[in-house]
Amino acid sequence: QSALTQPASVSGSPGQSITISCTGSSSDVGSYNLVSWYQQHPGKAPNLVIYEVSKRPSGVSNRFSGSKSGNTASLTISGLQAEDEADYYCCSYAGGSAVFGGGTKLTVL
Amino acid sequence: EVQLVESGGGLVQPGGSLRLSCAASEFAFSSFSMSWVRQAPGKGLEWVANIKQDGSEKFYVDSVKGRFTISRDNAKNSLYLQMNSLRAEDTAVYYCARGGYSYGSWGQGTLVTVSS
């Protein structure tokens, strides 16, 4: 049950694209297409932005996209906007249990 | 709109116990696995436990095994987390979330502080 590995921080200018990686193992990310991503603004509960690797919930902007290759999943946000500044967490199914990444702080410059 | 409302948090001494509750509404509670996720102050999210729709299967993070028990009452649309032998490192906001491993809905969280 080791936490998934994410970069501590990423940044980008408005209009640019950024990608956040999430590296796990063959016990979680590599074995299941059940990776989800969450956006969390300060003092708020997390909000689901991607599920099952690349699916977007209703109401989430199509600027958010997800992918996976081997043991690493990725979240890409295109056309960065000021409101995207937040913490982002990946999460993977791990055979009954689940495991989160350590989180990535996105700064919009 | 899905609603999840946690309660039961508070200040407890090390070694003490607390029982968290989560009242669910506006969805078919018995049709969904449910989970508890926590967040220590200034830290990231940590999955704690989940429970299948009928309560037949439960899973826990290693750090709480033997101390925490997740349960549910589908007749009352409620999820619970019994926390025993609490430690300082259990201090966190505890969120109730709909789903077993992907969480489309979250409660507002309840703060548990373990301190003497």
Residue pairs between chains A and B whose CB atoms are closer than 8 Å:
66
Contact list, A47 vs chain B (CB under 8 Å): 106
Q: How far is CA A31 from CA A50, A65, B43, in A?
A: 18, 20, 27
Question: Residue B46 is nearest to which of A40, A87, A100, comparing CB atoms?
Answer: A100
The pLDDT tens digits for A35-63 are: 999 999 999 999 999 999 999 999 999 99
Minimum CA–CA partner of B94 in chain A: A45
Q: A49 at the B interface (CB within 8 A)?
A: no
Q: Is B30 helix (H, G, I), strand (E, B) or coil?
A: helix
pLDDT digits (tens, 9 = 90+) for A65-83: 999 999 999 999 999 999 9
For residues A18 and A77, the answer to whether their CB atoms sit within 8 Å is yes
Residues A21 and A72 sit within 8 Å (Cβ to Cβ)? yes
Contacts of B37 in chain A (CB under 8 A): 46, 100
